Amino acid sequence: MKSLIQTVVVAVSGSEASINAAKYGVCMARMLPVRLFSVYVVDTATLRELIHSKIFIEEESKEYEKNLEDNGRRYLNYVRELAAKKGVTMETLLRRGTISTEIVEAAEELGADLILLGGFEVEKSIHDVLSRQRREIVRNAKCSVLIVKEPTIDLIYNKS
């Protein structure tokens, strides 16, 4: 019989919660034969809104987008290294667009059976945007979505 979960996509935003979701995915991949992917999305949709609202000018937006891309690559490399330390292969994808749309589309393109999202942040500010994006992912995903809130994930990850 085919396993229920064969391909897992982890949404990585750089938040502590998303890093915990990546650790959860690594632990899962050590126990189950799954393909593991992490996806970071450069939120160009919000950047366009900021230009349209005249909060950013075009030059600022391009610089900020490059910074987001650099951060995304750094976070993806970090979670790939977390996986490698545990003998797990994690493929990474850097995408551009609306966070929720790109995560859902990546999951569909990869044939994902599960999307892992970091648990909700307590603090406000930029994480409000991430919370809205999480809700959209849950609403629009064609596969199961797991919100990772495992409080002891560091202990589990370190023991695995």
Domain that holds residue 136: 13-155
Q: What percent of the chain clears pLDDT 70, i.e. is strictly above it?
A: 82
Q: Confirm whether 41 is domain-assigned.
A: yes
| Cα–chain center distance at 128 | 16
> What's the CATH code of the domain at 145?
3.40.50.620
Give me the residues paired with residue 91 across strands. Answer: 37
Specify if 6 maps to a domain. no
Please name every residue paired with 43 in a beta bridge, in sequence order, or none if there are none. Answer: 97
Q: For the CA atoms of 19, 88, 141, 21, what is the dihedral angle to 10 degrees?
A: -20
2 in any annotated domain: no
Q: Is residue 1 part of a domain?
A: no
Q: Tell me the pTM.
A: 0.88
123 falls within a domain: yes
CB proximity list for 152: less than 8 A, separation 6 or greater: none
Place of tokens 């992912």: 137
Looking at the domain assignment, is residue 36 inside a domain? yes
pLDDT at 126: 47
7 within some domain: no
Residue 10's Cβ-count burial label (10 Å; 0-12, 13-18, 19+) is buried
User: For residue range 68-126, what is the model confidence (pLDDT) as tens digits?
Assistant: 899 999 999 999 999 999 999 999 999 999 999 999 999 999 999 999 999 865 554 44
Predicted pLDDT at 50: 56
